[in-house]
Amino acid sequence: MDHFPTNWGRPRNDAFDAYGTYPLAQRPYNGPKDTFEAGVQRTQQPIVTGTSVLALKYKDGIMMAADNLASYGSLARFKDIQRLHPVGNNTVIGAGGDMSDFQYIQSLLDSLMIEEFTAQDGHSLGPAELHEYLAQVMYGRRSKINPLWNSLIVGGFKDGKRFLSYVDLLGTTYSASTLATGYGAYIAQPLLRKAVEGYEDVLTEEQAEKIMTECLKVLFYRDARSLNKYQIATITTKGVNLSESRSLDTTWSFAEGIRGYGAQTQ
């Protein structure tokens, strides 16, 4: 029931405000509604989202990192979500963007790998093939104006070669020795480039991991949709290694001294 009397009936002449309701000239429409007034909306918007994924090349292969948060708008909704997904023995896919779309992609890839396995033809899909497949899927969906709302990073190591490439909801692809999606592209990418460009063949796993955690820490401080719980994946000659969830050590004592940041004393 609408308890606002001015909304009950419309004056006979719409141009004349008979009840003198100005400035409340705009009233809600209380008549029947057509759910599909804007047509059938196939295009969605991201709902439950993951933020940055980071990736870099180092001496032994590829290292990727992502936190464990899936947000619902500004709500930190799911705090134990895996955003790094191993596919086969040589590849890891990392995803930012809509998590349900990502889980759909995971199921696509898993059934694809099963299909390839049952062929038993001595071939298996490596990172390059999976990236091409994903690029085609993503481009195909954007061409139907019904995209899978993700930025994906494909990292892998196969036949002695490192592979690191990106694909997003528009089907755009590129590769580089460091990659970052979401806020990471603005905040972590410059740090990664400074630490990695030119040192791809000398960085050890320890050094790479230090760079990664440093970047994740900066992201956690500055990206409001991030979490201090994360996983790191490496893909090397030894195959895929996905770490357990870890925590970042962060300091907040400095906030006390900053006006507008911590508790106010005056």
Give the interface with other proteins as residue ranges (CB under 8 A): 4, 6-7, 23-24, 26-28, 43-46, 139, 142-143, 145, 147, 149, 169-176, 185-186, 189
Residue 4 or 117 with smaller CB distance to other proteins: 4
Q: Give min distance, CB of 240 to other proteins, in A.
A: 25
Q: Which one of the listed residues 35, 43, 250, 251 is annotated catalytic? A: 43
Q: Shortest distance, CB of residue 47 to other proteins, whole angstroms?
A: 10
- Phi first, then psi: what are they for 240, rounded to 5°? -90, 135
| Nearer of residues 105 and 169 to other proteins, judged by Cβ | 169
Q: Residue 184 and residue 58: Cα distance in Å, rounded?
A: 19
Nearest-5° Cα angle at 49, 47 to 54: 160
Q: How many alpha carbons lie under 13 Å from residue 174 in its C-beta half-sphere?
A: 8
Give the C-alpha separation, 96 to 180, whole Å: 10
Closest CB 18 distance from other proteins, rounded Å: 16
Longest Cα separation, the chain: 82
DSSP string, 168-231: ETT--EEE-SEEE-THHHHHHHHHHHHHHTT-TTT--HHHHHHHHHHHHHHHHHH-TT--SEEE
174 or 252: CB nearest other proteins: 174
Q: Given the complex with other proteins, which of 26 and 250 has the nearer CB atom?
A: 26
43 is catalytic: yes
CB of 25 to other proteins, least distance (A): 8
Which residues have a catalytic role annotated?
43
